[in-house]
Amino acid sequence: MLLTFLFFGCYSGIVYLFCDNKPDAPDAAAQRGWKVWQEKNCQSCHQFYGLGGYMGPDLTNVASQKGTSYMRGIIEHGTGKMPDFHLSNNEVNDVIAFLSWVDKSGKSQVADSSVHWTGTYIISHK
């Protein structure tokens, strides 16, 4: 039993010290974009990893799925549901940097088709 705890402790220490897969800290532009995200209350409509508001889409991987041009167009002009916040070019660039940083943190596993309009997930066991 003691040997098991010893191996577990060594293994845990190795994982803690050498298997760090956390994304890099956000650079200055991403930090400013994060601040804009918070000031404009974007999380009230959008989610990261399925957590947040449900009026807009999950933006966890929008940078890798849609690209910078798409993000720029939506952020600068809004859509039918999303207002135009009249952000400056620098603010738009900062929000794009923030969303790109979030994109590197992992993958959102919930497909848009599996999110009910109430914000709950539709899980089918087939």
**CB contact at 8 A, 100 and 93:** no
The pLDDT assigned to 125 comes to 56
Q: pLDDT tens for residues 6-56?
A: 888 888 878 777 766 666 788 999 999 999 999 999 999 999 988 888 888
Q: What angle do CA 106, 73, 40 make, to 5 degrees?
A: 70
Token couple for 5: 């705890």
Task: Find where tokens 């994982």 sit.
Answer: 15
Residues 43, 37 contacting (CB under 8 angstroms): yes
**25-106 CATH pick, 2.40.50.140, 1.20.1290.10, 1.10.1490.10, 1.10.760.10:** 1.10.760.10
Q: Where are the domains of the chain?
A: 25-106
Q: What is the dihedral of CA 32, 38, 42, 46, to 10 degrees?
A: 90
Kindly give, in sequence order, each residue whose CB lies less than 8 Å from that of residue 56, ignoring residues fewer than 6 positions away.
45, 46, 47, 81, 82
pTM value is 0.71
Distance CA 71, CA 61 (A): 11
- List pLDDT tens digits, range 77-120: 998 889 999 999 999 999 999 999 999 988 876 666 776 766 66
DSSP 60: T
